[in-house]
């Protein structure tokens, strides 16, 4: 129970990687806030039925008002915010295409959710974390930021931005005892990917061939790294990016 008494928000926590992270944090004793555009109530009820403290907040991470409301409702329910996991993002719904086939509207949508969403959620929680004497922000980036995968330039660029934001935020928030780190998964068989596998089978094959560990990656492979960054064991680690991809990218 490494997180007993802690309060964690997981954006995009209703399904896929976010849901697995939320379950992992709850299993370590944290009270969970599931923040998502859909499915939050069902996910929070599932945690509650398993004996965990959980709150559902239906939000759009690109909305300043929604992010402020997310924090207000969390504080009303649990008193504070100790951990924010910026997991909400767009990937599985994309159609891989060469970069000059991406229109500006699609580019903006990916950047709004994957980059602006991280900024707005982080900005919304820091005031409460400062009052509480510190906190943890864990951003979900991606191994594509280091490998430069083709056919999803907007996604690659957005995750590169998350890595850079993590470092800069860690510098700015260190004096507040707010630690900021990121976890960079490889190609993961999340719920969204499995529902759109016909678009991404080529990425799955390429990822498998490039790994030291020759198997598919699943959401459970990511949760442990997030828990580590939220837990006491990482109390002197900030500004770091942990790649979790079976040894595909080594640095």
145-173: average pLDDT = 96
pLDDT at 144: 92
- Which of the four pLDDT bands, split at 50, 70 and 90, describes residue 195? confident
Gap between the Cα atoms of 148 and 151, Å rounded = 10
Instruction: Indicate whether 113 belongs to any domain.
Output: yes
Answer yes or no: are the C-beta atoms of 88 and 11 closer than 8 Å: yes
The predicted model scores a pTM of 0.95
Instruction: Indicate whether 154 belongs to any domain.
Output: yes
pLDDT at 251: 78
Phi and psi at residue 139, to the nearest 5°: -95, 135
Answer yes or no: are the C-beta atoms of 40 and 14 closer than 8 Å: yes
- Which of the four pLDDT bands, split at 50, 70 and 90, describes residue 200? confident
- Which of the four pLDDT bands, split at 50, 70 and 90, describes residue 216? confident
Instruction: Indicate whether 248 belongs to any domain.
Output: no
Range of the domain at 219: 7-242
Given a cut of 90, whether residue 210 has pLDDT beyond it is no
- Which of the four pLDDT bands, split at 50, 70 and 90, describes residue 222? very high
- Name the one residue in this structure whose structure tokens are 């490494």: 2
218-244: average pLDDT = 97
Instruction: Indicate whether 1 belongs to any domain.
Output: no
Under DSSP, is residue 139 helix (H, G, I), strand (E, B) or coil? Answer: strand
16-28: average pLDDT = 97
pLDDT at 87: 97
Answer yes or no: are the C-beta atoms of 5 and 24 closer than 8 Å: no
Q: What residues are labeled active site?
A: 155
Instruction: Indicate whether 2 belongs to any domain.
Output: no
Report the CATH number that the domain containing residue 108 is assigned in CATH.
3.40.50.720
Instruction: Indicate whether 57 belongs to any domain.
Output: yes
Domain count, the chain: 1
Interval 29-71: pLDDT, tens: 999 999 999 999 999 999 999 999 999 999 999 999 999 999 9
Given a cut of 80, whether residue 115 has pLDDT beyond it is yes
Locate 22 and state its tokens: 């939320």
pLDDT more than 70, % of the chain: 100
- Name the one residue in this structure whose structure tokens are 């991809």: 245
Given a cut of 90, whether residue 174 has pLDDT beyond it is yes
Instruction: Indicate whether 251 belongs to any domain.
Output: no
CA 157 to chain CA centroid, nearest Å: 16
């Amino acid at each position: 129970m490494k997180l007993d008494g802690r309060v964690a928000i997981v954006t995009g926590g209703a399904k896929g990687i976010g849901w697995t992270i939320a379950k992992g944090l709850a299993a370590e004793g944290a009270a969970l806030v599931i923040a998502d555009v859909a499915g939050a109530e069902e996910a929070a009820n599932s945690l509650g039925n398993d004996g965990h403290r959980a709150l559902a907040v239906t939000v759009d991470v690109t909305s300043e008002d929604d992010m402020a409301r997310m924090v207000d409702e969390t504080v009303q329910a649990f008193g504070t915010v100790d951990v924010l996991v910026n997991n909400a993002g767009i990937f599985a719904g994309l159609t891989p295409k060469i970069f000059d086939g991406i229109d500006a509207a699609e580019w903006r949508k990916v950047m709004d959710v994957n980059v602006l969403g991280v900024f707005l959620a982080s900005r919304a929680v820091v005031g409460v974390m400062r009052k509480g004497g510190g906190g943890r922000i864990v951003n979900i980036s991606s191994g594509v930021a280091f490998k430069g995968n083709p056919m999803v330039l907007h996604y690659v660029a957005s995750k590169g931005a998350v890595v850079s934001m993590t470092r800069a935020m860690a510098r700015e928030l260190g004096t507040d005892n707010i630690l900021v780190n990121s976890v960079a998964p490889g190609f993961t068989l999340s719920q969204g990917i499995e529902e759109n596998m016909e678009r991404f089978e080529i990425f799955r094959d390429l990822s498998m061939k490039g790994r030291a560990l020759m198997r598919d990656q699943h959401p459970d492979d990511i949760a442990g790294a997030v828990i580590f960054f939220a837990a006491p064991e990482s109390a002197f680690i900030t500004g770091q990016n942990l790649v979790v991809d079976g040894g595909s990218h080594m640095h």
